[in-house]
């Protein structure tokens, strides 16, 4: 007789074989969705969808968060680097401009044989009605009242007040300034007067003199303040009245007073100019 | 402590006016910022506190500027007393007081600067520039001046509170 144990083993084996054969047959036939399957899909899939989307979004947020942190850190580092580079670049540009200006001043100095002292403009007059600047050289550096101040473009003004390490310079465009001047072309004389505006006037220019727009005006040296031959400005307008003995001559200075940064103070009043 | 505040404020205003503005925007003809401080002293401070400050500031300004000595002193004193006089008719809390005080102060200062020097000027260009500058100055001052004065007032209030607190806690 077959024992009970053997019967169970044979039964299980047969069940496994039938199951395998059945599965292999089902795999070969076409899938046809039953009503239950559809119901299951209908009920479960939206939840699955929500959960999987949530997980995906969470994962995405999580990974982006860390990504953003690292990008933000990198961004910060790059910004700092950019700031440093921009600062450096600006410094080099400033140095280049300063170099250019100083070269001009140096060539001016070499051409004129003046004993000069270079100075930086550190402040300007508070009021637009008065045209003065403060320079960073004073009596300790040999500056004294009355010395003339120039740049390569032309005459700037004269020193009016001196402190130990600073001086005040009255610009030629100030109302209180006057420079004895000549028209370079025909040596006609006049006095350059400031009006605290952006232009100057050539006063006392005789009507008989032929003064034309574009004429260059230079210092005559007769006032004892400015050496002879320094460029002052260009004639921009001439008005010849029918009566009187003088003509109205408007002069635009060569120096852009708004952009003054470095100047030369002429320390010797004795002129050795080539001109 | 008030005098220290005045000193610091004046130094800041002078530096801004003489070194910062000319470097940033040299073409702009901005009005005198110190004048706002004078108006502030005239409007909100007592005579014994305001007058010495006005005198000292005026002398400093006269020394720094290319203006004839005493011009700033004269202009500031007139503006200071003018503003105090104006305060008799308008309450210090009135919203109209500051614009009126600033406009009349800037106008008065410009008149002091211009009239003695430009009187008898026959060149139209110079007169036109002078008039244009005065108009621009007054307009700028009316728009920005009251705001700056209110800022000064608020900062000084806080400044004094901080010092009071500091000295109180030190004494305890």
Average pLDDT across chain A, whole number: 81
**Nearest chain A CA: its distance from B26 CA (Å):** 6
Residue A27 has pLDDT above 60, yes or no: no
- Ranked by mean pLDDT, the top range of A192-196, A229-233, B118-122 is A229-233
Token representation of residue A206: 């005789």
Q: Which of A84, A92, A149 is nearest to A120 (CA)?
A: A149
The pLDDT tens digits of the residues spanning A97-149 come to 888 878 777 777 766 667 888 888 888 887 778 888 888 888 888 888 889 99
Interface contact flag, B32 A174, Cβ < 8 Å: no
**Nearest chain B CA: its distance from A262 CA (Å):** 13
Chain B residues within an 8 Å CB radius of A174:
66
Interface contact flag, B67 A259, Cβ < 8 Å: no
**Nearest chain A CA: its distance from B83 CA (Å):** 21
pLDDT at A235: 93
The pLDDT tens digits of the residues spanning A63-84 come to 778 788 888 888 888 888 888 8
Domain ranges of chain A: 48-113, 116-266
B114 reaches A (C-beta below 8 A) = yes
**Nearest chain B CA: its distance from A127 CA (Å):** 7
pLDDT at A272: 45
pLDDT at A31: 52
Write out residues in chain B with pLDDT < 70, as ranges: 25-28, 92-93, 116-126, 169-172
Q: Report yes or no: B28 and B22 within 8 Å, Cβ to Cβ.
A: no
Interface contact flag, B34 A248, Cβ < 8 Å: no
pLDDT at A192: 92
Q: Which CATH fold topology does A116-266 show?
A: Thrombin, subunit H (2.40.10)
Mark which residues 199-218 of A lie under 8 Å from B by CB.
Answer: 199, 201
pLDDT at A245: 87
Chain B residue whose CA is closest to A128: B29
The CA–CA distances, whole Å, from A81 to A76, A78, A89, A92, A241 equal: 9, 5, 12, 16, 65
Angle between helix axes B71-86 and B47-64 (nearest 10 degrees) is 150
A248 Cβ contact list (under 8 Å, min separation 6) = A201, A237, A238, A239, A240, A241, B123
Domain ranges of chain B: 2-171
């Amino acid at each position: 007789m077959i024992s009970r144990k053997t019967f169970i083993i044979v039964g299980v084996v047969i069940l496994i074989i039938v199951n395998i054969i059945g599965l292999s047959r089902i795999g070969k036939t076409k899938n046809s969705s039953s009503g239950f399957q559809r119901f299951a899909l209908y009920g479960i899939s939206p939840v699955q969808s929500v959960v999987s989307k949530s997980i995906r979004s969470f994962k995405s947020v999580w990974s982006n968060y860390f990504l953003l942190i690292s990008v933000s850190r990198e961004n910060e580092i790059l910004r700092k680097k950019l700031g440093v580079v921009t600062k450096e670049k600006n410094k080099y540009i400033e140095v280049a401009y300063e170099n250019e200006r100083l070269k001009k001043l140096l060539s001016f100095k070499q051409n004129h044989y003046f004993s000069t002292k270079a100075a930086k403009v550190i402040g300007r007059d508070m009021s637009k009605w008065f045209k003065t600047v403060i320079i960073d050289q004073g009596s300790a550096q040999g500056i004294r009242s009355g010395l003339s101040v120039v740049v390569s473009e032309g005459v700037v003004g004269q020193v009016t007040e001196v402190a130990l390490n600073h001086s005040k310079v009255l610009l030629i465009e100030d109302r209180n300034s006057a420079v004895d001047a000549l028209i370079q072309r025909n040596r006609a004389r006049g006095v350059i007067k400031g009006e605290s505006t952006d232009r100057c006037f050539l006063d006392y220019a005789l009507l008989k003199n032929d003064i034309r727009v574009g004429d260059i005006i230079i210092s005559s040296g007769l006032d004892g303040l400015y050496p002879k031959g320094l460029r002052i400005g260009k004639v921009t307008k001439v008005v010849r009245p029918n009566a009187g003995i003088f003509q109205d001559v408007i002069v635009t200075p060569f120096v852009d007073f708004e952009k003054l940064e470095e100047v030369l103070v002429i320390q010797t009043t004795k002129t050795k100019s080539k001109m | 402590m008030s005098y220290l505040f005045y000193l610091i404020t004046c130094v800041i205003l002078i530096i801004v006016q003489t070194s910062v503005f000319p470097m940033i925007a040299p073409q702009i003809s901005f009005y005198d910022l110190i004048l706002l401080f004078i108006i502030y002293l005239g409007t909100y401070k007592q005579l014994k506190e305001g007058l010495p400050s006005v005198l000292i500031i005026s002398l400093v300004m006269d020394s720094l500027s290319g203006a004839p000595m005493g011009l700033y002193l004269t202009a500031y004193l007139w503006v200071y007393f003018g503003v105090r006089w104006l305060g008799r008719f308008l309450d210090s809390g009135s919203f109209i007081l500051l614009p009126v005080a600033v406009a009349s102060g800037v106008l008065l200062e410009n008149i002091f600067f211009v009239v003695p020097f430009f009187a008898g000027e026959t060149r139209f260009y110079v007169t036109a520039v002078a008039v244009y500058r005065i108009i621009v100055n007054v307009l700028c001052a009316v728009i920005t001046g009251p705001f700056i004065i209110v800022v000064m007032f608020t900062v000084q209030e806080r400044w004094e509170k901080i010092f009071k607190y500091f000295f109180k806690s030190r004494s305890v």
